[in-house]
A and B are shown apart, each in its own frame.
Chain A
Amino acid sequence: MNYDRLKDKLAILADAAKYDVSCSSSGGNRKNHNKGLGDSSVSGICHSYTEDGRCVSLLKILFTNHCIYDCAYCTSRRSHDTPRAAFTVEEVVDLTMQFYRRNYIEGLFLSSGIFKSPDYTMERLVRVAKELRTIHKFNGYIHLKTIPGASDELMQEAGLYADRLSVNMEIPTKSGLALLAPEKNHDDMKAPMKTVQEQIVVFKESRKQHKHAPKYTPAGQSTQFIVGATKETDLQIIRLSSHFYKQYDLKRVYYSGYVPMLTDSRLPAIGTPVPMVRENRLYQADWLMRFYGFEAEEILPSDSPFLDLDCDPKLAWAIRHRQHFPVNIQTAPYKMIVRIPGIGTRTAKKIVTARKFTTLTLDHLKQMGAAVNRAKYFIALRGRNEHLVHLTQDNFRQYILAQTQTKFKDERHGQLTLF
């Protein structure tokens, strides 16, 4: 193995893969059953963090950045003048094994530009996973990209070796995609998701019959949307995510604020700030749908299609629906407790348990991890809660925002420092 060349390839193909935000290694339950290497941790482990504060859990690389497509938003697009490289199957296998042995990573996230044809590309990705599993007895986490247009046989094989499969939708609207990637369309990208979803159901059924039947992508599927490359609204994004969670049973949808790195009249100019606050608010909205029992329609009313950058979507919902408050924490059901701003799912569970033992006070809530500075305006206690007077006042929103701090203050006022 040519070490210097390998180093160059790694630099090029890690650079090209870094805009894919997914790095999750959770949800896998593969055990070290063969005295081989590796054992998946259900919770996932972030082994390091990049200087932009993102988790490094997997060796995230492209197999190659050669690509037959010319999607405007992608650094690997055909017309982009950039150094190109391709790994060999052997190199990817070796890097994964050696990094894993040193406890650098939880496993491999292998994506790829499309070279020659979808099948040709997919076949190589599958071969990497197959060799890791069968020849090297690797039980760590493997996330593979499914290449739209690849044959069903390859997709089926991929799911047997991978813990997770994903296709990135990237551009949330059909019109946006037509503008930036005229060679692609949404239906072609959704097709492999449907195939994978059907396979998951088939394999689950057969596991009910035979306990030892193989598992198919035990950690499910995910996808990603680029935010801010086209004119899509948050309402469109959230509705689309909800559609994917419900219709395709996706485990995760990721949101990636567009980083301008290419000059193209169809795209935001280079130097346009990355929409990090908006991206964060979308993740908060996503969490509300997945863990807090919110419907997409509740998060944004159809007459205001963008999330409020000044306050988180749960607080925004509470301010719009003051008729539901105050919530009595001593008696209210769990599903109402989690809707109180400043109280997360863990604290809500603790509240429901602890209130059987004692009458809860604001101090107790604080000790249990609630953000009392927000929660105190929305809850009824057994004793008097002096903060409730504000709830019915006209300037409630302004009052609350003035009282609470946001870490995004500088960014909202256009003072984001990048370096």
Chain B
Amino acid sequence: MSNSVAIVEPPIVVFDGSFEGWLTAVFAVYENHWQHAQIISIIAEHDFLPNLWQTTFVVKSDVDKAKRVSHKLKSVFGNNGFRQLLWAFLSEQPTVYGHLFGVVRYQLACPDVNVWQDYTHTDVMPVLKLIKMVGRERHRMQAFVRFEHMEQDVYFARVEPDFNVLPLLSNHFKNRYADQSWAIFDVKRGYGIFYDKDDPNAEVQLITDVDENALVRPHDFHSEYEKKYQHLWQKYFTHVTIKERKNPKLHIQYLPRRYWKYLTEKNLF
């Protein structure tokens, strides 16, 4: 090889944890010709523990660079493939950023290959697994979100998903609840999405700030009939069980305990 610079082991690339930051990191790797190195480490700031013998390269999120990279990635992966990358990214797993880079590098090197079909590839396989996990969590949230009707005529739900799936839920809930105002708040990550039925643009907005009390004691804000429908639902839930077939192990397998906190039917009062 003529270009010996590329063989030198590159530093650890540290980015701010945002998707934009990761795209900028990908830009930086190619800009510095590190892409041929066997191991490329891309790590989010909050996962990074500095030590003495590794050099680091800190990337600052850059809108223009991120745009150039996402444009390029969309052209080689297609819109669907690009969305796959984002899904895996939302898993927030410390190792995902490096594997994602591996997939990107593979696709850029072999533009004619559908890399997603190479199930046994060392970067494709873990990324596909994460996509599946994120997809499953998204589906669970579509199922387990429980709205409570508030005085202000807003249907409000609290969630704590394992992965950061709220951005993947807007469309589903917007299509479903077009005629009611609703909000879903991720208590763990401190942000939520909000839809106002009277908004002429019918857009889902990001919200970061809600009344603390509504998060802790939502029943203080309930509309007149809310409690009654919660009771009816609980009644229904208890009565559809065939007690001769009770199977607690299966129940918990399908409805893991960590989701019970916000499930109306599992909080009999």
Q: Which residues of A contact B (CB under 8 A)?
A: 3, 6-7, 10-11, 14-15, 17-19, 31-32, 35-39, 41, 43, 45-56, 59-61, 95, 98-99, 101-104, 137, 259, 261, 274, 276, 350, 353-354, 356-358, 360, 364, 367-368, 418-419
Which residue of B225, B231, B235, B242 has the most chain A CB atoms within 10 A of its CB atom? B242
A-B contact count (CB 8 A): 159
Q: What CA separation (Å) do A94 and B148 show in the bound complex?
A: 16
Q: B175 touching A103 by the CB < 8 A rule?
A: no
Q: B239 touching A14 by the CB < 8 A rule?
A: yes
Q: Is B250 an interface residue (CB 8 A)?
A: yes
Q: What CA separation (Å) do A31 and B176 show in the bound complex?
A: 9
Taking residues whose C-beta sits less than 8 angstroms from the other chain, chain B's interface range is 35 or more
Q: B146 touching A104 by the CB < 8 A rule?
A: yes
Q: What CA separation (Å) do A49 and B254 show in the bound complex?
A: 7
Q: Is B30 an interface residue (CB 8 A)?
A: no
Grouping DSSP codes into helix (H, G, I), strand (E, B) and loop, the A interface class, with mixed when no group exceeds half, is loop
A101 contact from B180, B248, B253, Cβ within 8 A: B180
Contacts of A19 in B (CB 8 A): 242
Known contacts A7-B231, A7-B235, A419-B246; 12 additional CB pairs below 8 A are A18-B242, A31-B175, A37-B178, A38-B176, A41-B172, A47-B144, A48-B263, A101-B180, A103-B146, A274-B245, A357-B119, A358-B120
Q: What CA separation (Å) do A45 and B243 show in the bound complex?
A: 24
Q: B237 touching A52 by the CB < 8 A rule?
A: no
User: Please, could you name 26 A-B residue pairs with CB atoms under 8 Å apart, sorted by A?
Assistant: A7-B232, A32-B176, A36-B179, A41-B172, A45-B143, A46-B254, A47-B144, A48-B144, A50-B242, A50-B251, A52-B242, A53-B251, A53-B253, A55-B254, A98-B225, A98-B232, A101-B180, A102-B148, A102-B155, A102-B229, A102-B233, A103-B145, A103-B147, A350-B119, A357-B118, A367-B119
Q: A98-B229, A358-B120 are in contact. Are A52 and B251 (CB under 8 A)?
A: yes
Question: Closest residue to A260 on the B side, CB-wise?
Answer: B244
Interface residues of B in 213-249 (CB under 8 A from A): 225, 228-229, 231-233, 235-237, 239-249
Q: What CA separation (Å) do A350 and B117 show in the bound complex?
A: 8
Q: What CA separation (Å) do A6 and B231 show in the bound complex?
A: 11
Q: B250 touching A259 by the CB < 8 A rule?
A: no
